[in-house]
């Protein structure tokens, strides 16, 4: 088998890259180890930055999102039992976010790729990368019980945090920087009406809580727990009691409860792999970086990585020049580190660190007090949450 760009992984990064390259007339093959049903059914994040919404619309895959997604103009920050609205729409001159689940984005992208005749091989096994530092790299894999080899000009490692691509960057070159947080998130999907018109991020003495949504009938909420806690310790009653204690306010606002459809605990880390490229291998999305979910940046970072890659690859096929591709890692990492900084800031500000001294706890609450009082701080938080413009990187780089 042969193609121009071999893509490992049909997550948001791999699918969007394949879609964008198709629009530029560049052929790709995606190799995915899971089934279509599995990738379309896995519950992940749900907040799309303005730039991601614009990208989906501009590339022709935003129609269902615009119909079914929920546009939010702000968020609420809660501490000391009081809510503070952050009017992001006003503070960012008219921008907003869209609450639209990641697996719905996946469904829309898979449908668009297949409709356009794109090649996605699901249920592939034993994917391995070869000759990534040569002119013609190869991906070997098993599909339908037989061995295959895909020769390509470039390999895109869009295979998430646990995929094989990252390890192809030699140890002598690859630097991995990470921070593990002493926090876990217990997430639930519950059948209840929408609790609040906007997301609520609450810092409470018992720990952080987040009120989010999925559809008018299904809600997504989280509470901070010990990352090593067992989900079996959390009965539905205990979850609702804790959630309510952390988000209800003295002015009579109550959280609607109902049947819990799904619950799990995830741990939190920040992780960056530098560089994000080696030879003819390029990493995008979770394969190269992980952010804690408090800043809602994971999916959005994957989307900006692949836009930078698409421009570099397009330039290569149009002009034969690799100059932009050679700078992919440098351009993408500047953006990645800004998102890391913001995600770390939100995580540190909003979670209850039970190792903190009373002094540190007061400083944390004072940070929230400052952030919700100062227009400058509110503007800074808003522009980061809504998404910093990709042009910031583009302006200092010759994109075209
Ligand atoms: N062979 C083929 N496919 C693989 C392999 C492998 N060895 N290992 C992993 N994959 C696939 C996974 O099954 C998954 O479908 O790669 C895909 C990676 O997708 P994601 O993990 O969703 O990563 P990414 O596309 O970078 O999207 C980042 O997704 O994980 C969330 O919170 C994260 O929102 C962020 C976004
Ligand atoms: C979600 O709805 O899953 C969600 C929302 C905001 C976050 C993280 C997750 O910061």
8 C-alpha to ligand 2 centroid (Å): 26
**Ligand in nearest proximity to the CA of 222:** 2
Give, for all 400 residues of the chain, the pLDDT tens digit. Answer: 999 999 999 999 999 999 999 999 999 999 999 999 999 999 888 999 999 999 999 999 999 999 999 999 999 999 999 999 999 999 999 999 999 999 999 999 999 999 999 999 999 999 999 999 999 999 999 999 999 999 999 999 999 999 999 999 999 999 999 999 999 999 999 999 999 999 999 999 999 999 999 999 999 999 999 999 999 999 999 999 999 999 999 888 999 999 999 999 999 999 999 999 999 999 999 999 999 999 999 999 999 999 999 999 999 999 999 999 999 999 999 999 999 999 999 999 999 999 999 999 999 999 999 999 999 999 999 999 999 998 887 656 544 4
Question: Which ligand has the shortest distance to the CA of 43?
Answer: 2
- Active-site residue list: 72, 201, 293, 297, 385
Task: Please give the model's pTM, rounded to 2 decimal places.
Answer: 0.96
Burial of 308 (0-12, 13-18, 19+ CB in 10 A): buried
Closest ligand 2 atom to the C-alpha of 214? Answer: 2
Distance CA 188, CA 168 (A): 36
CA distances to 242, 262, 340 from 234, in Å: 10, 12, 30
Distances (CA, A) of 32 to 38, 123, 163, 303: 11, 6, 11, 18
The response to whether residue 129 sits with its C-beta less than 6 Å from ligand 2 reads no
Closest CA to 76 of 166, 242, 197, 241: 197
Domains of the chain plus CATH, in order, are 5-72+98-177+269-352 (3.50.50.60)
């Amino acid at each position: 088998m042969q193609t121009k760009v071999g893509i490992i992984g049909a997550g948001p990064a791999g699918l969007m890259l394949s879609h964008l390259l198709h629009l530029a007339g560049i052929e790709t093959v995606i190799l995915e180890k899971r089934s279509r049903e599995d990738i379309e059914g896995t519950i992940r994040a749900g907040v799309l930055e303005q730039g991601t919404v614009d990208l989906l619309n501009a590339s022709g895959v935003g129609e269902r999102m615009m119909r079914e997604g929920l546009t939010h103009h702000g968020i609420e920050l809660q501490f000391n039992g009081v809510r503070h609205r952050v009017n992001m729409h006003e503070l960012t001159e008219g921008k907003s976010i869209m609450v639209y689940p990641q697996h719905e984005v996946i469904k829309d992208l898979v449908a668009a790729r297949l409709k356009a005749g794109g090649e996605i091989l699901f249920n592939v096994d034993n994917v391995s990368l070869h000759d990534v530092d040569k002119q013609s790299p190869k991906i070997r894999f098993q599909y339908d019980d037989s061995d295959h080899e895909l020769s390509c000009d470039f390999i895109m490692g869009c295979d998430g945090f646990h995929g094989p691509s990252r390890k192809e960057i030699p140890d002598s070159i690859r630097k991995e920087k990470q921070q593990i947080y002493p926090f876990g998130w217990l997430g639930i999907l519950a059948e209840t009406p929408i609790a609040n018109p906007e997301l609520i991020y609450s810092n409470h003495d018992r720990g952080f809580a987040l009120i989010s949504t999925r559809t008018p009938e299904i809600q997504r909420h989280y509470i901070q727990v010990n990352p090593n806690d067992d989900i079996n310790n959390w009965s539905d009653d205990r979850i609702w009691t804790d959630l309510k204690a952390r988000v209800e306010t003295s002015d009579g606002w109550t959280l609607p409860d109902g049947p819990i459809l799904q619950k799990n605990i995830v741990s939190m880390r920040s992780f960056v792999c530098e560089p994000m490229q080696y030879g003819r291998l390029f990493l995008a999305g979770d394969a190269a970086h992980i952010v804690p979910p408090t800043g809602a940046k994971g999916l959005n970072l994957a989307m900006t990585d692949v836009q930078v890659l698409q421009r570099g690859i397009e330039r290569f096929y149009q002009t034969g020049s690799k100059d932009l591709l050679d700078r992919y890692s440098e351009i993408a990492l500047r953006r990645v580190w800004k998102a890391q900084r913001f995600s770390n800031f939100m995580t540190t500000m909003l979670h209850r660190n039970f190792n903190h001294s009373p002094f540190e706890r007061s400083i944390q609450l004072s940070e929230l007090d400052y952030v919700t009082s100062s227009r400058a701080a509110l503007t800074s938080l808003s522009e980061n949450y809504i998404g910093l413009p990709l042009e910031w990187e583009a302006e200092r780089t010759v994109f075209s």
